[in-house]
Chains A and B, each alone.
Chain A
């Protein structure tokens, strides 16, 4: 309970909890933001003998841009694989595709700010578990292992919750 967690006084564990919060928050926020990333080709005039060429030759350089129109909750190459999985309903995949990015960003922010840290960690754990479920189905064992490490970190965060400082809302 909240009352039992008050004033734990171990600097090392407090900093450990803070580090975990930062890591997991950045991981979630940036993963969510990257779902809005895309590539934009930028054409620049080719320079010959120190001057722009007169033919109209251009050199295309691809630059990374972020835009709402680039959003893909589930990466396109995986979408087809998930769609072919009988245990994943089509309607569910559509919803998941729509909300995954925003959910990761929101949970990352709540964890970063310390808003209901324990529930944020728990919900984040559920999200990573759901991702694990999908990756098991499409036999992405490396991804499953990687998510397993995330889950261990979340459990560590929950175990250290009583050392949670610098939080806006300690309750929940």
Chain B
């Protein structure tokens, strides 16, 4: 049978006779020095099944595109044993099985139902990469099954769902990392800790500007062969008819399954899908939550989609340095305008940072202390790139223009895939060697304002945040 709904393991899969608490406890207790005695039986059994005893046993819930991104980012991390994967689409689970088999030469168990996988498998950690509206249910069921969880952002399609994840993390005492991967990115951590906080490179940050501009070609409907998609009854069982005002046909359900990002009951739309990564950085770098949001959005091109295809919003902050405003735009109809980045604009300098190094630049204001910046270059904290070039020319209005800023760069980059450090941090935390860089509580503190952007755009009203809006 292709899919192991029977739960019968392959010879290559891990054995099921392991004592319930032994493996997970071993991971923690061995780091505390007590695991060698308490975990001895499980060590022997795990080794007999072909994996080192301290390998982290991993399962996947959701095997679509985002799962592939995560898997490709972790395949070179040592000490991992892939045990099982689940998705309601058989072909996806099959692809995951093949990817692991070809890479590691062992098979995994395959499931169509997450609860069944969690009931039958002995897992230490689970990766949740399902549609947004399934993040909270899947994360909670995995935490309650005794697993540590890495869940993709946004935490949920609703703030209530996100809050329930924080509750489950607290209740179970398990780790729950949310996939805001920039939080573990060395370049972002360095820019915040060393340049902004220690060196006050920007001076007072008064404005923040961020965007993700994505071309129309990348925003089209996702299509697939109907023959490999789940049947209508399966899609109904798994909630893809949520929020519909009529009984959906199989074709409509399949469109929702492939394009759940377009539907308000299944996701938060582009502001959540793309903006969450970057608005998270606003809040993290500023060390504050905004006090209000105003927003505008439109179905300017994709008129039949439930979510806005472009959104612009302004957050107002009171930061430890003073008042600041942050503008963010997400466009799904053009990639012009400089791609995707977050820009922290201060009185002495600006840091344009992006997950893509090509979009990352640092600018020194003409009035900033030259000696200070030169010293930073000498110490290796910055790299000088180019002196600012005055516009000049007949069309320049000299009395209106400021002197152009000199251009600098970060002193180095990331030699791994963007998601890898975040996953490494998760595994290190599972082993008791590190603290999560973005656990569910901190993620929700950062995400909470994002849940109010669409309501602000819909109502065309400024939303002044209260404790009720933002509490975790």
Contacts and interface: CB of A to CB of B under 8 A. Distances in A.
Contacts of A50: 380
Contacts of A53: 190, 411-412
Contacts of B435: none
Interface in B168-198: 186-187, 189-190, 193-194
Given A58-B414, A60-B413, A47 B380 contact: yes
B410 interface: yes
Interface residues of B, number: 16
Contacts of B189: 55
A137 B107 CA distance: 53
Given A48-B380, A49-B380, A57 B421 contact: no
Question: What band does the interface of chain A fall in when counting residues whose beta carbon is under 8 Å from B?
Answer: 10 to 19
Interface in B271-326: none
A5 interface: no
B412 A59 contact: yes
Contacts of B421: 56
A39 interface: no
A147 B380 CA distance: 48
Contacts of A43: 415
A63 to B, nearest CB: 14
A48 B411 contact: yes
A56 B421 CA distance: 10
B415 A48 contact: no
A56 B424 CA distance: 12
Contacts of B194: 48, 55
B186 A48 contact: no
Given A46-B380, A48-B379, A55 B413 contact: no
Contacts of B412: 45-46, 53, 57-59
Interface in A75-111: none
Nearest to A49: B379
A58 B186 CA distance: 9
Nearest to A44: B412
Given A57-B190, A57-B410, 10 more contacts: A48-B381, A53-B190, A57-B411, A57-B412, A57-B414, A58-B414, A58-B415, A59-B412, A59-B413, A60-B415
Interface of A: 43, 45-50, 53, 55-60
Shortest 10 CB-CB contacts between residues of A and residues of B: A57-B412, A46-B412, A55-B186, A48-B380, A56-B186, A43-B415, A58-B415, A55-B190, A59-B412, A46-B411
